[in-house]
């Protein structure tokens, strides 16, 4: 039966290939959206790892998360240097990463911080930041140094030892350039697939210098030396502080202590929980993408059904011949069902193979152009269910043209009507 179905399909290979192509495109889109959805959620959830608390001035958790982790938006309030020193002295705090934002380079965010960022910040499966070229701030005896993320270096076309000028504000175009204090690139970070890649990182003293908050008397010290040897801090206010604790079990208790701090209104959030809550707000867009993909698959299956129905008129003599040589109802039904299954399997296989070809050979292009990081991993159980659903739906749809073919074969003879 299956060999007969293949022979019949080959005799109509022109229209059949178009149907296979339509199903392949539908499968490619469905699997592509599903894989992007799942891996984007995984990448989103692991944008930051190993950080137990993010502290900022009193604000909403989403605003603090977007500003400190994704470098999006501007916090209307900042926390004082005194509060930062208070956070350092809290029990079980083992490391701290200060962040001050508000400047940019051609639309890329400038984050003033310390070398603690490169030492303690982690992403993904607790992966540490690594340098593709150069080194951190303390490798240069000046506060006017900068470390670039991988995407920032590529977009700005800068490398180690190149000059860099930062601008006031976070817009793409700024009319206030800090050109009186040019910076020098000291390092370029390896790609992480996180917002770190688009960041331009400078020392806290560097930001204080361009804003007139900090006047170093000795340029042969790094941030930590400046902060300890001078009465004035490198900056007066910070946007956020990342805290790492000796034991994560203390995070909830410490969060309560920080949120009830009397000297300044502070907000402390746990990044993992905040990321999960923020992702839930994106469920509407996630469902919309999946709905569009399903509709495309339905369109492809309806195209297959239309092709089968349209071919019945041309195949009435074929069906009549099969009936005349003793083909029963199950034979006629089985023939068209096998044809639909073969066409769908071919389309699903082609669509899946195309997806893997795109992921294997175009992953870097997707990363560079769209910022989407998707890996060519094995099919998940959910993806297998989706493919099985496509094949099952095609087989169910094929029963209608199969029944029509059987009815026509009963009414037709061997003579073709002219």
Same domain membership, residue 258 and residue 121: yes
Residue 296 inside a domain? The answer is: yes
Which of these three, 240, 269, 298, is where a domain ends? 269
- 132-136, 151-155, 303-307: which range is least confident on average? 303-307
CA quadruple 230, 234, 236, 239: dihedral positive or negative?
negative
Distance CA 144, CA 141 (A): 9
What confidence tier does 367 reach under pLDDT thresholds 50, 70, 90? Answer: low
Same domain membership, residue 156 and residue 230: yes
Annotate 223-290 with DSSP letters as a single string: HHHHHHHSSS-S-SEESEEEEEES-GGGHHHHHHHHHT-SSS-EEEE-HHHHHHHHHHTTHHHHHHHH
Residues near 77 by Cβ (< 8 Å), separated by ≥ 6?
56, 57, 58, 59, 265
State the pLDDT at residue 66.
87
Same domain membership, residue 170 and residue 62: yes
Residue 399 inside a domain? The answer is: yes
Residue 418 inside a domain? The answer is: no
pLDDT of 169 over the 90 cut = no
State the pLDDT at residue 226.
44
Distance CA 293, CA 31 (A): 9
Closest CA to 196 of 51, 308, 392: 51
Which of these three, 225, 241, 269, is where a domain ends? 269
Average pLDDT of the residues in 278-300: 77
State the pLDDT at residue 227.
43
Same domain membership, residue 175 and residue 119: yes
- 76-80, 278-282, 319-323: which range is least confident on average? 319-323
CA quadruple 218, 219, 220, 222: dihedral positive or negative?
positive
pLDDT of 380 over the 70 cut = yes
Higher pLDDT among residues 290 and 150, named by residue: 150
The DSSP output letter for 190 is P
Same domain membership, residue 232 and residue 105: yes
What confidence tier does 220 reach under pLDDT thresholds 50, 70, 90? Answer: very low
Summarize pLDDT for 76-135 with one digit per residue, the tens. Answer: 788 999 999 999 999 889 999 999 988 888 889 999 999 999 999 998 778 899 999 999
State the pLDDT at residue 325.
65
Same domain membership, residue 158 and residue 67: yes
Residue 234 inside a domain? The answer is: yes
Cβ–Cβ under 8 Å, residues 245 and 258:
no
Same domain membership, residue 119 and residue 205: yes
Same domain membership, residue 265 and residue 154: yes
pLDDT of 209 over the 80 cut = yes
Same domain membership, residue 111 and residue 72: yes
Same domain membership, residue 131 and residue 265: yes
By the 10 Å C-beta count (0-12 exposed, 13-18 middle, 19+ buried), 137 is classed as buried
Angle at 164 between CA 158 and CA 166, to 5 degrees: 125
Residue 416 inside a domain? The answer is: no
The DSSP output letter for 160 is T
Residue 274 inside a domain? The answer is: no
Residue 150 inside a domain? The answer is: yes
Q: How many domains does the chain have?
A: 2
Q: Regarding beta strands 167-168 and 93-105, do their DSSP bridges make them parallel or antiparallel, or are they unpaired?
A: antiparallel
Provide the residue range defining the domain that includes 382: 2-44+282-410
pTM of the model: 0.69
pLDDT of 215 over the 80 cut = no
Reduced to 3 DSSP states, what percent helix, strand and coil does the chain have, rounded to the nearest 5? 55, 15, 30
Same domain membership, residue 321 and residue 397: yes
State the pLDDT at residue 229.
44
Which of these three, 225, 246, 269, is where a domain ends? 269
Distance CA 117, CA 147 (A): 11
Q: Regarding beta strands 131-134 and 53-57, do their DSSP bridges make them parallel or antiparallel, or are they unpaired?
A: unpaired
Cβ–Cβ under 8 Å, residues 39 and 375:
yes
Annotate 210-225 with DSSP letters as a single string: HTTS---S-SSS-HHH
Residues near 388 by Cβ (< 8 Å), separated by ≥ 6?
none
Same domain membership, residue 40 and residue 94: no
pLDDT of 228 over the 70 cut = no
- Could you give the percent of the chain with pLDDT greater than 90? 26
**Of the ranges 134-138, 223-227, 324-328, the best mean pLDDT one:** 134-138
Summarize pLDDT for 46-75 with one digit per residue, the tens. Answer: 788 889 999 999 888 888 888 888 888 777
Cβ–Cβ under 8 Å, residues 343 and 9:
yes
Instruction: List the structure tokens of 360.
Output: 């294997």
């Amino acid at each position: 039966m299956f060999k007969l179905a293949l022979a019949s399909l080959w005799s109509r290979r022109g229209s059949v290939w178009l149907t296979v192509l339509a199903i392949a495109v539908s499968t490619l889109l469905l699997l592509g959206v599903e894989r992007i959805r799942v891996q984007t959620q995984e990448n989103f959830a692991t944008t930051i790892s190993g950080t137990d608390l993010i502290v900022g001035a009193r604000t909403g958790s989403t605003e603090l998360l977007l500003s400190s982790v994704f470098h999006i938006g501007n916090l209307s309030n900042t926390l004082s240097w005194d509060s930062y020193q208070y956070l350092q002295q809290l029990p079980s705090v083992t490391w701290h990463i200060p962040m001050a934002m508000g400047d940019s380079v051609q639309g890329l965010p400038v984050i003033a911080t310390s070398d603690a960022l490169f030492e303690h910040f982690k992403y993904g499966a607790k992966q540490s930041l690594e340098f593709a070229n150069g080194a951190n701030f303390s490798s240069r005896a000046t506060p006017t140094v900068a470390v670039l993320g991988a995407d920032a270096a590529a977009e700005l076309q800068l490398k180690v030892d190149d000059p860099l000028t930062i601008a006031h504000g976070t817009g793409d175009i700024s009319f206030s350039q800090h050109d009186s204090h040019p910076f020098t690139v000291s390092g370029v970070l390896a790609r992480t697939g996180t917002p770190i890649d688009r960041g331009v990182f400078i020392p806290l003293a560097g930001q204080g210098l361009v804003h007139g908050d900090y006047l170093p008397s000795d340029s042969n010290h790094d941030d930590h030396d400046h902060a300890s040897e001078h009465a004035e801090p490198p900056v007066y206010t910070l946007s956020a502080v990342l805290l790492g604790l000796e034991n994560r079990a203390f995070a909830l208790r410490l969060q309560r202590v920080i949120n009830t701090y009397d000297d300044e209104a502070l907000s402390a959030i746990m990044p993992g929980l905040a990321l999960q809550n923020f992702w839930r707000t994106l469920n509407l867009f996630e469902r919309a993408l999946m709905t569009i993909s399903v509709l495309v698959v339905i369109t492809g299956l309806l195209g297959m059904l239309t092709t089968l129905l349209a071919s019945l008129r041309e195949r009435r003599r074929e069906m009549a011949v099969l009936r005349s040589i003793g083909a029963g109802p199950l034979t006629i039904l089985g023939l068209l069902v096998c044809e639909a299954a073969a066409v769908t399997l071919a389309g699903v296989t082609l669509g899946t193979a195309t997806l893997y070809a795109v992921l294997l050979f175009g992953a870097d292009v997707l990363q560079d152009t769209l910022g989407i990081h998707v890996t060519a991993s094995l099919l998940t159980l959910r993806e297998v269910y989706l493919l099985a659903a496509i094949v099952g739906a095609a087989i169910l749809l094929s029963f209608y043209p199969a029944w029509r073919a059987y009815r026509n074969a009963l009414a037709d003879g061997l003579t073709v009507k002219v």
